[in-house]
Amino acid sequence: MTAVVTGGARGLGEAIVRRLRSGGQPVAIADVDGAGAVELAESLDASGRTARGYTADVADRASLSALLESVVADFGPVRVLVNNAARTQATPLFEITPEELESVMSVNFTGTFTACQIFGAHMAEQGYGRIVNMASLAGQNGGTATGGHYASSKGAVMSATKVFARELASRGVTVNAVSPGPQDSPMVRDIVGEQNVEAFQRSIPVGRLGDPAFIAETVALLASPGAHSVTGACWDVNGGLFMR
């Protein structure tokens, strides 16, 4: 049950990597920071039998194809893909340049879409697979502290999740999304400002930031064999900031 986690070297990606590996899955940690991915993998298993790090730029199709080839050579068929790699830039809407828009979309949306194509086709050939895309509350409510390009990219990720779920359902591959709200993470604290965190938490109905470990648990559940009846879904974990 080899799993690939993009953007897995740190942050939420690292939490997901640790959770999947704790469940007994070999994990391929893919990140544009290849050194960071290798460092995390070696800290988990210096032998490389259950964790390995890979350099991968999800904005580059050739890089994703090479990633799949390398992981299959090292571990065998890929059964789980977590599209976690993302770029966040909290730029005011009318200050977003075409270059910055392309930079964010190429990672967050195009990278996810392309990985679903490449790994989804591989999984379909095997007759089994679990793809979990990381969406965001920002893609549902238009964003608050995050940039408009980030919010737009995550909305597109949720639509792509449904597209691939419908296409792959009959071939044993499920495709789902997890949509976190603000998490208790360095990135969120940096965007909000440490001095504003307490007030920000009061704006959340449950009164606290989310826990990345719980997000990782949610991903692991959707990535499990028992989740065969869940596809095309988006599981919200946002503290009540968005209800539907």
- Mean pLDDT for 60-89 is 97
242 domain residue, yes or no = no
Indicate whether 209 belongs to any domain.
Answer: yes
Domain count, the chain: 1
Q: Quick one: which of 63, 68, 85, 59 has its CA closest to 28?
A: 68
Confirm if 15 and 212 have CB atoms less than 8 A apart: yes
105 found inside a domain: yes
Q: How far is CA 65 from the centre of its chain?
A: 18
What is the pLDDT at residue 143?
83
Residue ranges with strand state E in 10-60? 27-31, 51-55
What is the domain range of residue 94? 2-237
Residue 244 resides in a domain: no
pLDDT at 200: 85
Tokens encoding 242: 């968005």
Does 150 participate in catalysis according to the annotation? yes
Place of tokens 């990535």: 223
CA distance 108 to 86: 5
pLDDT at 90 exceeding the cut of 80:
yes
∠ CA 156-57-186, rounded to 5°: 75
**pLDDT at residue 25 greater than cutoff 90:** yes
What percent of the chain stands above pLDDT 70?
99
pLDDT band at 175 (very low <50, low <70, confident <90, very high): very high
Whether 191 shows a pLDDT value over 90: the answer reads no
User: Does the pLDDT of residue 222 top 90, yes or no?
Assistant: yes
- Residue 1's SS3 state is coil
How many angstroms separate the CA atoms of 213 and 227, rounded?
A: 19
Mean pLDDT of 204-220: 96
Return the CATH number at 131.
3.40.50.720
Active-site residue (options: 80, 150, 185, 236): 150
Q: Is residue 243 part of a domain?
A: no
- DSSP letter (8 states) at residue 183: B
Tens digits of per-residue pLDDT, 115-171?
999 999 999 999 999 999 999 999 999 986 778 999 999 999 999 999 999 999 999
Q: Please count the other Cβ atoms lying within 10 Å of the Cβ belonging to residue 140.
A: 20
Is 164 a domain residue? Answer: yes
Q: What is the pLDDT of residues 32-49, one digit of tens each?
A: 999 999 999 999 999 999
Query: Predicted confidence band at 186 (pLDDT cuts at 50, 70, 90)?
Result: confident
Q: What is the mean pLDDT of the chain?
A: 95
Stretch among 33-47, 51-65, 185-199 having the lowest mean pLDDT: 185-199
Q: In 39-64, which positions are buried (b, 16+ CB within 10 angstroms) versus exposed (e)?
A: ebbeebeeeeeebbbbbbbbbbeebb
59 Cα distance to chain centroid: 14
Q: Has residue 32 been placed in a domain?
A: yes
Nearest to 182 by CA among 205, 152, 157: 205
- Which helix (H) or strand (E) is 62 found in, with range? helix 61-75
The whole model's pTM is what?
A: 0.95
Q: Is the dihedral of CA 215, 170, 116, 166 positive or negative?
A: negative
Q: Of 6-20, 35-49, 52-66, 178-192, where does mean pLDDT reach its minimum?
A: 178-192
Which segment of 20-24, 96-100, 141-145 scores lowest on mean pLDDT? 141-145
